[in-house]
Amino acid sequence: MQRSLTGYDRLALAVSPTPRAQEAAAVLRHAHDWVPCAQAQAIVVVGGDGFMLQTLHGMLDSGHIVPAYGINLGTVGFLMNRNRNSRPLAERLARARSLTVSPLWMTAVRQDGTQFSSCAINEVSLLRETRQTAKLRVTVGGKVRIAELACDGVLVATPAGSTAYNLSANGPILPLACGLLALTPISAFRPRRWRGAILPDRLAIEFSVLEAEKRPVSAVADQKEVRDIASIRIEVAHERDLTLLFDPGHSLDERIVTEQFVI
């Protein structure tokens, strides 16, 4: 078996259950002496963006956070590298450049007073649960910025997540190292002309649900949902920073720039 040339002595392989990913991984399984994820110094992730997010969340949940190198066998592959066989995997890993992704930490309080906390790598979104428009008080940096926001919802996106749900909601695309967050409304009714904000990531963002029983709101941190919330606090969790590895010329920064010129 081929030994690592990357400086990582212990590599793990995480593979999506999709047929395409499993087929590609069949070759990789014989290319290295893989170890379990809990023992790895880096993880090779085969699949799409959704599976990469699942793998990163698994690291956050376990507390064993190591660099991740993605090979795209999904659809978009925004967080992944191209699936190509022109260079051996060990050589690609040796040449890869690291990029830091800072997740969000969400603390939500339900209407019954119970609390729920979770990390989000892409975004935290608040969404109305019924036909009734949500009404939210928006506080940034300890100051009330909007006393009453009437909307279908609102989201806070990281730079890594700014091209996902945030972009679909007409939010801005953020360069990865900008130290900013996107605060983007979803179908805002009042204030009618408010289109969102770009905020320094050192500021905590808080939402209070107004008329919570009549106008219930759920919160979603990436794929984890909590319903019937009363308030929520969102801040960047630098102590949980993640590292993605990219081939030269195919970094996430370059993809963010390219996405803005797609017509």
Q: Consult the annotation and say whether 139 binds a ligand.
A: no
Q: Consult the annotation and say whether 166 binds a ligand.
A: yes
Q: Consult the annotation and say whether 4 binds a ligand.
A: no
Residues 60 and 180: their CA atoms lie apart, in Å, by 22
Q: Consult the annotation and say whether 197 binds a ligand.
A: no
The separation between the first and the last C-alpha atoms of the chain, rounded to the nearest angstrom, is: 45
Find residue 151's DSSP bridge partners.
134
Q: Consult the annotation and say whether 188 binds a ligand.
A: no
Q: Consult the annotation and say whether 182 binds a ligand.
A: no
For 130-150, b where at least 16 C-beta lie within 10 A, e where not — what string? eeebbbbbbbbeeeebbeebb
Residues 74 and 82: their CA atoms lie apart, in Å, by 10
For 218-249, the DSSP string reads EEEETTEEE-SEEEEEEEE-GGG-EEEEE-TT
Q: Active site includes 49?
A: yes
Q: Consult the annotation and say whether 55 binds a ligand.
A: no
Q: Consult the annotation and say whether 163 binds a ligand.
A: yes
HSE, side-chain direction, 13 A CA sphere, residue 163: 20
Q: Consult the annotation and say whether 61 binds a ligand.
A: no
Q: Cα 89–240–160 angle (5° rounding)?
A: 65
Name the DSSP letter for residue 152: S
Q: Which of 9, 33, 49, 247 is catalytic?
A: 49
Q: Consult the annotation and say whether 258 binds a ligand.
A: no
Q: Consult the annotation and say whether 165 binds a ligand.
A: yes
Q: Which residues are annotated as a binding site for NAD(+)?
A: 49-50, 122-123, 152, 160, 163-168
Q: Report, as residue numbers or ranges, the catalytic residues.
A: 49
Q: Which residues are annotated as a binding site?
A: 49-50, 122-123, 152, 160, 163-168
